[in-house]
Structure 1
Amino acid sequence: MPYLFEYVERELATFDQKPFGPVDAAVLSQACMIDGARVVPEPPTRPALLDRVLARLAPDARGVTFAELARTEFFDGMFTGLVPGDIQRLLLLLAASPRYRNLRIHGYQAVFDEAVPTQFAAMTFSWKRAFSFVGFRGTDISATGWRENFDMAYEDEVPSQRLAREYLERMMPRLSGAVHVGGHSKGGNLALYAALTCHEDVRERIELVWCLDAPGFRAGRFGTEAYAHLGWHADAGGAGAGDAAAAGAGVQGACKIERFVPQDSIVGMLLECPVQPRVVRSSAQGAMQHSLFSWEIAEDRDDFVTVEHLGEGSRALHDILMEWLASMDPERCAKVVDALFAALGASGARDARDVFLGGKPFPQLVSDAMRNLDEGSRAVLGAALGELAAITARRVGRDLAAAVFGG
């Protein structure tokens, strides 16, 4: 059974011979984890009309290729995320791939701000004048990046979401042909947010939005009318956390949103998105299914292997978290997040690798670290975790709640 690495290595057809598809969206979403600073050109400041003229006159002069990225003097420091070695391997395969090696990579933008938690990066991949993929990076390993993710639970718009919309509106007039927008994890959230909130003229040019195991938005942030602007309608598919028996029902026809999650999705079940996902079979277990490198690709077509239903655990996780968040107003939620990150700091965790790959369940790590918090923060976080544990016990059983939260 092929996976992303094997697909990139074996696929010989160019985009002239075989159109852009779901696996390509996954490949380029992972390529967004490459740090293109000092190598990939930044978004241009000259008039968009001039950019289009220059692209028509010299399409191969715009941006750089994967081979040029692989040869840069900055190579050793270009790889981000929880699995930088996999991103490095992917770049080397892309540089040699007949399908991907002639893509032009341009418009690199990255913003990182610890003071106002912001972790954002985007770049655009163009094939001649036929199409472009506007890709947004997922979360890096920094506490800043993860703090911004948690802020999505109670804020209407976090800085990266605003930057994503501005980036899409800036790049769109400079692109020719079909325009795909997408990303993995946080990157998929940014892609969909940008598509939902951008100017109407920009939205109309979007071919498809690719959301790969991406979290949704806080409850009530977008109504059905917002999704209808991207061709989704309530009768086309159920809630994203529900039964995916009609896999893809919400992304067929005129709908511009393609949503994928693995069968035991965790990240893709966070917050709300009404678009029914296609459920992908993964070779990994539990949280590691979030990795696109574990998603199985069909032997006979350029698409992922899908299954009929989401796992029971994924559906339960969504329901538990949404009930928990619904019990808190934005002010209290912000205090809980502040206390949570104070606890993570007190735990000695240096970055997300220590938190998620350290061997201890996340709630237990936080519970153990709470003893080092001040009394006020400990009370806020303790009460919230107690409520979460109670909801978990009621919905899925006390034994599982005790295993996750300790006690």
Structure 2
Amino acid sequence: MDASAPYGGERPRPLASAVARERRTFVELPFGDLDAVVLSEVSRFTLRGLVEPLDGNGCGLRADGRRWTSLSDILRVERIGVLRGGFCPWAARFDRAFALAVGGSPRYGSIAAGLHVDRRSVEGEPAEQFSATTFRLPDGTHFLAFRGTDLSLAGWKEDFDLLFEPSVPGERDALAYLRTVAGIVEGPLRLGGHSKGGTLAEFAAVHAESAVAERLVSTHNLDGPGLRAPGLDARPPADTGRGVRKVVPAASFYGLLFADPAACRAVASGGFALQAHAPCRWRAAGGDLAPARRLSPCTAHVAARLQEWLAGVPLDERRRFVDGAYRVLAASGAESFSELPLSLVRHARDVAHARSALPREDRRLIGRLARSFIRTLAAGTTGGLRASARTVMSDVPGRLPKDDRSPSF
């Protein structure tokens, strides 16, 4: 099949454009990976104050007794600034086009959101950034979307904690959120999320109690790392029996970490590496994500080299590296990466003092691992580019084996 025209010749389009063109209902076109991407992207917005929260008593009722708010009501032009908030990454132009396309869509506008959770850890607590939203779909199912990493330092610290902790607070909260929502709503459930949100969704699905797991229709890990087995650097068996679907852009390596490439669905996207990781660059056609012919040999090679490098770093050294680096950056007083550059300058003395306060062995460890990581990434990229070149050459039509080629002039 030609990946450039996978659906009857329809040209793959960027996500916002594809959503704006989709007119079919969920009766005409059942829920699929594209829908999981759309709702996961909606959950990335700052929905506090716009969607009813899940309170401490496991309820989510408004003063008028309503629990749900339609996306057509949430995603309005006058709310774009509020929706992006201060921690929402990606591109402002895409966010505006995407929000208006979803809110005005015959397919998505009537979907209702509720049971919202959004919190970040405070000083003295284990690093955590967790947000989840439940969407009530016209087909009678509920989609539980877990937000990926935002721009907060705590969120990125939790991401790195995944490299050495058996589980992190966000994973445990995702499982608790699934359990709570399952006790509130009825009918089939779907889970999903992009980036770390996909990892949280997979964790919740794999560890769900049997009574809840029986209600799971599908779980969508959208370019999020797989689950690292405690103490090891190999993921659990891919077939968990919980319907986990792994989607990765062809040119992104992030979702290949702790994952079996053969079990991933490669989809088309623009950009490379972290650029390709952003859903705003993913392509869709015919009501689904546009398939890619294969994973990029370059990014697959990079992911393999990074995982080999990680396997050579003991868990204790990973913990010391992440905790030490975070302690130094947090001394700047910045809460997000957008604040970090200026905060590092303003509070350079505090940052220098925090670094000096680290044990000498930890300072040396941070420098050694940072240099080793950069060398591995560079070598992996170089090797990956060579692998890509070999793949491109092997795809040339009519190309003969090396020994059978006649000289060309």
Amino acid across the alignment from 1:76? G
Match of 1:157 in 2: 167
1:289 maps to amino acid? A
2:19 is the alignment partner of 1:8: yes
Report how far residue 46 of structure 1 moved. Answer: 7.0
Asked whether the 8 Å contact 2:227–2:235 carries over to 1, the reply is no
Question: In the TM superposition, what whole-angstrom CA distance separates every residue of 1:355-385 from its partner, at most 9, and x where no partner exists?
Answer: 8xx9xxxxxxxxxx99994354430112223
- Give me the whole-angstrom Cα distance separating, in 2, the residues matched to 1:389 and 1:70: 41
Does 2:70 correspond to 1:83?
no
1:136, 1:102 → 2: CA distance?
Answer: 20
What SS class does the counterpart of residue 13 from structure 2 fall into?
A: coil
Distance in 1 (alpha carbons) for counterparts of 2:247 and 2:231: 21
Distance 1:193 1:83, change over 3 A: same
Q: Which residue of 283, 287, 308 corresponds with 1:296? A: 283
Q: CA deviation at 1:264?
A: 1.6
Inter-CA distance 349–316: structure 2 relative to 1 (3 Å threshold) = farther
Q: Which residue of 2 aligns with 1:234?
A: none
Tell me: CA distance 1:229–1:270, structure 2 relative to 1, closer, same or farther (3 Å).
closer
Q: Does 1:63 align with 2:63?
A: no
TM-score, scaled to structure 1: 0.76
Structure 1 residue 187 displacement after superposition: 0.7
Structure 1 CA distance for aligned equivalents of residues 373 and 56 of structure 2: 48
Once the 2 structures are TM-superposed, how far is the Cα of residue 329 of structure 1 from its aligned partner? 2.5
TM-score, normalization by structure 2: 0.76
| 2:176 paired residue among 149, 166, 169 | 166
1:313 equivalent to 2:320? Answer no
Alignment partner, residue 401 of structure 2: none
C-alpha distance in 2 between matches for 1:144 and 1:321 = 23
SS class of match (1:82):
coil
Judged with a 3 Å threshold, the aligned counterparts in structure 2 of structure 1 residues 273 and 162 are, in CA distance, closer, same or farther, namely farther
Aligned to 1:141: 151
Tell me the percent identity: 28
User: Which letter does structure 2 place at the counterpart of 1:278?
Assistant: R
Match of 1:106 among 108, 114, 139: 114
Deviation of 1:164 after TM superposition, in Å, equals: 0.3
Contact 2:269 2:282 in 1 (8 A): yes
1:381 equivalent in alignment to 2:366? yes
Answer yes or no: is the 8 Å Cα contact 1:31–1:87 preserved in 2: no
Pair 1:281 & 2:268 matched: yes
Cα RMSD, aligned residues only: 3.5
- Aligned ranges for residues 204-215 of structure 1 at < 5 Å? 204-215=214-225
Q: 1:205 to 1:44 in 2, by over 3 A?
A: farther
1:388 Cα deviation after fit: 3.3
Matched, 1:26 2:26: no
Could you tell me which of 174, 188, 198 is aligned with 1:188?
198
Task: Measure, in 2, the Cα distance between the counterparts of 1:322 and 1:346.
Answer: 30
Map Cα deviations across residues 320-377 of structure 1 (whole Å, 9 max, x no partner).
222222222222111011233356568998744588xx9xxxxxxxxxx999943544
Question: Is 1:94–2:102 an aligned residue pair?
Answer: yes
1:323 equivalenced with 2:308 (yes/no): yes
Which has the higher mean CA deviation after the structures are superposed, 172-181 or 189-198? 172-181
The letter for the 1-side match of 2:117 is Q
| In 1, Cα distance between equivalents of 2:231 and 2:366 | 25
Q: Shift of residue 174 of structure 1?
A: 2.8
Kept in 1, the 8 Å contact 2:161–2:322? The answer is: yes
Native 8 Å contact 2:22 2:105 kept in 1: yes
Query: What amino acid maps onto 1:198 in structure 2?
Result: A
Q: Which amino acid aligns with 2:158?
A: E
Q: Which moved more, 1:98-107 or 1:2-11?
A: 2-11
Secondary structure of the 1:297 match is: strand
Give the secondary structure class of the aligned counterpart of 1:278. Answer: strand
Q: Which moved more, 1:2-11 or 1:340-349?
A: 340-349
Alignment-mate amino acid for residue 53 of structure 2: E
The CA distance in 2 between the partners of 1:291 and 1:163, in whole Å, is 24
Segments of structure 2 that go 5 or more residues without pairing to the other structure are 1-11, 342-350, 386-409
Residues 59-111 of structure 1: per-residue CA shift (max 9 Å, x gap) = x9540012322459876322242126233432222221111111111110112
Matches of 1:109 and 1:117, distance apart in 2: 16
- Measured against aligned partners, the alpha-carbon deviations of 1:100-147 in whole angstroms (never above 9, x if no partner) come to 111111110112113321100000111246111110001110111101
Distance 2:335 2:54 in 1: 32
Give SS of 1:261's match.
strand
Aligned-pair CA distance for 1:151 = 0.3
Distance in 1 (CA, whole Å) between partners of 2:354 and 2:316 is 23
> In structure 1, what residue type is equivalent to 2:95?
I
Whole-angstrom distance in 2 between the partners of 1:319 and 1:196 = 24
Q: Name the SS of the counterpart of 1:156 in structure 2.
A: coil
My pick for the range that moved more, 155-164 or 120-129, is 120-129
> Which letter maps to 1:36?
L
Bigger radius of gyration among the two: 2
User: Cα–Cα, structure 1 residues 312 and 343, in superposed 2: closer, same or farther, change >3 Å?
Assistant: farther
Q: Is the 8 A contact 2:298 2:383 kept in 1?
A: no
- Does the 8 A contact of 1:33 with 1:87 survive in 2? no
Look up the SS of the partner of 2:246 in the other structure: strand
SS in 2 for 1:67: helix
Q: Partners in 1 of 2:156 and 2:43 — Cα distance? A: 17
Equivalent pair of 2:198/2:220 in contact (CA under 8 Å): yes
Contact persistence 1:112–1:120 (CA under 8 A): yes
Partner SS for 1:81: coil
Q: Is the 8 A contact 1:339 1:380 kept in 2?
A: no
